[in-house]
Chain A
């Protein structure tokens, strides 16, 4: 027995901000959930099961917060799951929720992912000093910047490519009312003029720290008939490798390459750049756009930056990337992956508003964990998959 068809008929997200001091954790989640349910034309009572995702519990200082949130999320008396797979969690959570429908276990599943970073300090939570271990001496970007340098060396990319990505995503965010950053007038020049934090990464090339949530309603074929514009799931994939291993390729990780290959195969895609109309890729630091373009197979190894430099990842390009403004414009960590998955669904539903890519029929949602070791991806389409 193969997978049952499944579709996204509701997408909701919060207005992402540095501090959402107006809401509790439950209130933040419900803001996204209520929007997703309205979009799906369903109520919480129609939902069979709920899947919650978020990044480390130390961020909000609550162990397994889905337990205290159960009633507010409408999960009381229903099955509730909690996924945590590092930075890829928003994507993995959506995949677990889809599997509930694809396995034929449930018909209408609600999934929500959130982070309320303002309750603590992510830098602290990620680097609690442990005995014997040397304290982190490089700060947040210090982990990523050396790998970006490796990419630049290996690909011989011109050093302004990162700034092109940042300027594009920040301008795309101006078309997304939910985005955290709405920085008018960002240009390649202004990004290049911003402070060099972790050479080669500049201030304007880094993601913000956000409070926010994202929710999706994923349903079976029968329920999807009631939606005017379901986004059908054409493929889902998760792959993991070690965070540190001898001779691990940290620029173009094998787990990402394997995941992409499996995903394209499942979705029946032979030429991703020709067949994908919009991609929402997890890019927390600008340079990860060209790196992931290669890892995903949109470009040959060492060639990803050429697509970016030629403007092919802009909304009007061959492969529009992060029309929503992406992680560079909003980063509620646990929700960031689900936002990529949800924005991909919005594109193929023709519901992305001002940042809609005309006529998008197939889109990619992509998420990865901070050490480039965990990957989660899906392809959604306007048409029901034939396989």
Chain B
């Protein structure tokens, strides 16, 4: 058995970026098949334009159309592309100074091997089939054919200025639980709720912790906890929201399991929401065993035991 539990997780979101006028001007140009630079106070043409001038700190307001043909000033080979790069086969990244610009732009260069690239080589923009106002409207750079001097400009593809861009950020991680959390999840997979006692302050933590937050000592001694406990406090969820699994209203409550010194947050079902009380005694209701996994979700919810409510004094230190 491995020391810890681990599983893959993808963190992904389509970010909706507002570009402001300067980046927007650049992206509008790409959509229309032209590369736009910005002129700085010292007269340099920079691509993409800087939002604010490096010397005066004023917003860039002077824009210059530059050529879609230029010269490689540096390059590197990408032997093992990572997800979402312009190509999923080996390619080069290059810094290219377009004719009419004073500094280079970073983009992919489509060549089959490093032997086909040199610093100083002439390249041109290969436009994407569909242009929407995004840096990927430039599909990549490609070597200029012998004798070719100008790349033909495609037709403009819109008339409204670009003010926003959607960029997908999708990252794949391998998530690992700590050894103490792994004990907890493995217990749940066997229908048990496992905690650990801190050797310094003697408090029983559920889930157990790599460091007791009070004194920094790892919790050690294993303690199997009762399946019953007391609601310390709660809220009634009345509002629908993204990803919600239960129809409101329902109760989300802190349940202090008998024998534990810290409450766990869980659902209360089996009782109308408006009858849930602080101090109510509840017990774990498990999902069918064939649905169990390494998760607190194995406990479907907590439901009232029917016992008399706990005295406020017995749980007031847990609020």
Measured CB to CB, the residues of A under 8 A from B are 19-24, 26-27, 30, 43-45, 58, 60-61, 71-72, 74, 76, 116, 118-121, 123-125, 128-135, 137-142, 145-150, 153-154, 195-201, 241-251
Q: Which of A116, A242, A244, A251 contacts B319 (CB 8 A)?
A: A251
Which of B11-49 touch A at CB < 8 Å?
A: 11, 13, 15-23
Name the residue in B11, B15, B316 with the highest tally of chain A Cβ atoms < 10 Å from its Cβ. B15
Q: Mark B307-319, 1 if CB is under 8 A from A, else 0.
A: 0000010001111
**12 more A-B residue pairs beyond the given contacts A147-B319, A153-B312, A245-B214, with a C-beta to C-beta distance below 8 A:** A22-B163, A24-B17, A24-B20, A44-B57, A135-B297, A137-B245, A141-B235, A142-B235, A149-B233, A197-B237, A201-B235, A246-B201
* Contact yes or no, A146 B252, CB < 8 A: yes
Complex CA gap A45/B262 in Å reads: 53
Which of B271-305 touch A at CB < 8 Å?
A: 273, 278, 294-297
Q: List residues of chain A with CB within 8 A of the CB of B16.
A: 118-120
The residue of chain A having its C-beta at the shortest distance from the C-beta of B204 within the complex is A246
The residue of chain B having its C-beta at the shortest distance from the C-beta of A154 within the complex is B319
9 closest Cβ pairs, A-B complex: A242-B213, A145-B235, A24-B20, A199-B236, A131-B7, A246-B261, A150-B319, A138-B252, A246-B203
- The range of chain B's interface size is 35 or more
Q: List residues of chain B with CB within 8 A of the CB of A27.
A: 20-21, 51, 59
Q: List residues of chain B with CB within 8 A of the CB of A245.
A: 212-214, 262
With A21-B164, A123-B242 as given contacts, are A250 and B319 in contact (CB-CB < 8 Å)? yes
Complex CA gap A145/B252 in Å reads: 10
By DSSP majority rule, is chain B's interface helix, strand, loop, or mixed? Answer: mixed
Judge if B129 is at the interface, Cβ distance under 8 Å: no
B293 to A: closest C-beta gap in Å: 8
Instruction: Supply 28 A–B pairs (Cβ within 8 Å), ascending by A.
Output: A21-B18, A22-B18, A23-B20, A24-B20, A30-B52, A30-B59, A45-B57, A120-B13, A120-B15, A121-B13, A121-B242, A128-B9, A130-B175, A131-B7, A132-B295, A137-B246, A146-B235, A146-B253, A150-B319, A195-B238, A198-B235, A198-B237, A201-B235, A244-B262, A245-B214, A246-B205, A247-B262, A247-B317
A52 to B: closest C-beta gap in Å: 15
Complex CA gap A135/B296 in Å reads: 10
Complex CA gap A43/B52 in Å reads: 14
Give the number of A-B contacts (CB < 8 Å): 181
B190 to A: closest C-beta gap in Å: 15
Measured CB to CB, the residues of B under 8 A from A are 5-9, 11, 13, 15-23, 50-52, 54, 57, 59, 163-164, 167, 169, 175, 177, 181, 185, 201, 203-205, 212-214, 232-239, 241-246, 249, 252-254, 261-262, 265-267, 273, 278, 294-297, 312, 316-319
* Contact yes or no, A246 B262, CB < 8 A: yes
Q: List residues of chain A with CB within 8 A of the CB of B57.
A: 43-45, 74
B250 to A: closest C-beta gap in Å: 8
Complex CA gap A141/B241 in Å reads: 11
Q: List residues of chain A with CB within 8 A of the CB of B8.
A: 131
A110 to B: closest C-beta gap in Å: 12
Complex CA gap A22/B59 in Å reads: 14
Name the residue in A30, A130, A134, A250 with the highest tally of chain B Cβ atoms < 10 Å from its Cβ. A134
B232 to A: closest C-beta gap in Å: 8
With A27-B20, A131-B9, A242-B214 as given contacts, are A247 and B261 in contact (CB-CB < 8 Å)? yes
The residue of chain A having its C-beta at the shortest distance from the C-beta of B241 within the complex is A139
* Contact yes or no, A247 B318, CB < 8 A: yes
* Contact yes or no, B205 A197, CB < 8 A: no
* Contact yes or no, A24 B234, CB < 8 A: no
Q: List residues of chain B with CB within 8 A of the CB of A149.
A: 233-235, 278
Complex CA gap A20/B273 in Å reads: 39
The residue of chain A having its C-beta at the shortest distance from the C-beta of B298 within the complex is A134
Complex CA gap A139/B238 in Å reads: 10
Complex CA gap A22/B161 in Å reads: 12
A108 to B: closest C-beta gap in Å: 15
The residue of chain A having its C-beta at the shortest distance from the C-beta of B319 within the complex is A150
* Contact yes or no, A23 B243, CB < 8 A: no
* Contact yes or no, A132 B185, CB < 8 A: yes
Complex CA gap A218/B296 in Å reads: 49
* Contact yes or no, B5 A153, CB < 8 A: no
With A137-B267, A201-B235, A246-B214 as given contacts, are A24 and B262 in contact (CB-CB < 8 Å)? no
Q: Which of A24, A135, A200 contacts B243 (CB 8 A)?
A: A135
With A24-B23, A121-B13 as given contacts, are A72 and B18 in contact (CB-CB < 8 Å)? no
Q: List residues of chain B with CB within 8 A of the CB of A121.
A: 13, 242
Complex CA gap A141/B278 in Å reads: 18
Name the residue in B169, B201, B238, B249 with the highest tally of chain A Cβ atoms < 10 Å from its Cβ. B238
* Contact yes or no, B52 A150, CB < 8 A: no
Complex CA gap A19/B241 in Å reads: 20
Q: List residues of chain A with CB within 8 A of the CB of B265.
A: 138
Complex CA gap A118/B16 in Å reads: 7
Q: Which of B169, B181, B246, B249 contacts A132 (CB 8 A)?
A: B181
* Contact yes or no, B235 A72, CB < 8 A: no
With A123-B241, A134-B295 as given contacts, are A71 and B214 in contact (CB-CB < 8 Å)? no
Q: Which of A72, A139, A249, A250 contacts B244 (CB 8 A)?
A: A139
B315 to A: closest C-beta gap in Å: 10
Complex CA gap A27/B52 in Å reads: 9
A15 to B: closest C-beta gap in Å: 14
Q: List residues of chain B with CB within 8 A of the CB of A146.
A: 233-235, 252-254
A256 to B: closest C-beta gap in Å: 15
Complex CA gap A69/B223 in Å reads: 50
Q: List residues of chain B with CB within 8 A of the CB of A134.
A: 266, 295-297
* Contact yes or no, A58 B11, CB < 8 A: yes
Q: Which of B52, B239, B262 contacts A198 (CB 8 A)?
A: B239
Q: List residues of chain B with CB within 8 A of the CB of A58.
A: 11, 13
Q: List residues of chain A with CB within 8 A of the CB of B18.
A: 19-24, 116, 118-119
Complex CA gap A126/B6 in Å reads: 21
* Contact yes or no, B15 A128, CB < 8 A: no
Q: Which of B7, B15, B213, B296 contacts A61 (CB 8 A)?
A: B15
With A199-B236, A245-B213 as given contacts, are A24 and B267 in contact (CB-CB < 8 Å)? no
Q: List residues of chain A with CB within 8 A of the CB of B9.
A: 128-131
The residue of chain B having its C-beta at the shortest distance from the C-beta of A74 within the complex is B57
* Contact yes or no, A154 B316, CB < 8 A: yes
Q: Which of A23, A131, A195, A197 contacts B175 (CB 8 A)?
A: A131
With A23-B18, A24-B23, A246-B205 as given contacts, are A153 and B278 in contact (CB-CB < 8 Å)? yes
